[in-house]
Amino acid sequence: MSEENYDIQDFLQDYTEVSPDKEIRIINAAINIFSEKGFEATRTREIAVRAGIAEGTIFRYFPTKDAILERMVPLLIRVMMPRLAGPIERIIKDHATDTVENILHEIITDRLRMIRANGKFIKSVLPELIHRAPLLKQMEINVLPVVEQLVGEVVNYGKARNELDKDLDPHLVMIQMVGFIMCYGMFGENDQKKSEKDIRTLLQYTMKGWNSSCKP
């Protein structure tokens, strides 16, 4: 899903509930315009034009613009989770005998590419989620446990290799990684060589902190 052409239909193969075609067209249009203009600046009239329907039709499905967002977020979570987790699972499998530092490097690099490929959409929608506790809760319940499970596999692997402290909490590792990926993806260097250096430097310092030699 690149920001040049959002089309949620591409991700609906596993979405078995019946959704009227116009509802999906409205969500597709909203995703695209939110990514271009931001949530607040988007008008339902613009969504209607992009969806190829009358503005009044939108209100048959969604009484407010907020209702579009509230429908869109859980749907995106549901249909995209395999595509969010899949690349990390492949990295773990492909680097099954590598060092923890290299595995984490590959995961961070891959997720940064994803963040940057969808930067406009994330910047326009994420601030809206912060002000909507139910939507944030859905992210917490449906997304973070999957990420933590995958990070936990890497942490346990590192403990078995004596690269990580035996008492290191995978949850804290996940929080640190997600925080860095989100912040660096939005505000960090775009130059590939500089970005590569920053990731390596971060991991070198972080691995020292996660190792038992630096245990508090």
Q: What is residue 214's predicted lDDT score, i.e. its pLDDT?
A: 58
Closest to 42 (Cα-Cα) out of 125, 103, 114, 111: 125
Rounded-to-integer distance, Cα 167 and Cα 215, Å: 9
Q: Return the C-alpha torsion angle 165, 168, 173, 176, nearest 10.
A: -90
Q: What is the 3-state secondary structure (H, E, C) of 28-53?
A: HHHHHHHHHHCCCCCCHHHHHHHHCC
What domains appear along the chain, each with residue ranges and CATH number? 8-211 (1.10.357.10)
**What are the pLDDT digits (tens) for 3-61?**
444 445 454 444 434 455 788 888 888 888 888 888 889 999 999 998 889 999 999 99
Q: Which residues contact 23 (CB under 8 A, 6 or more apart)?
A: 61, 71
pLDDT per 10-residue tile (average), the chain, 216 residues = 46 45 85 85 93 92 92 79 85 95 95 82 78 85 90 95 94 93 86 92 91 64
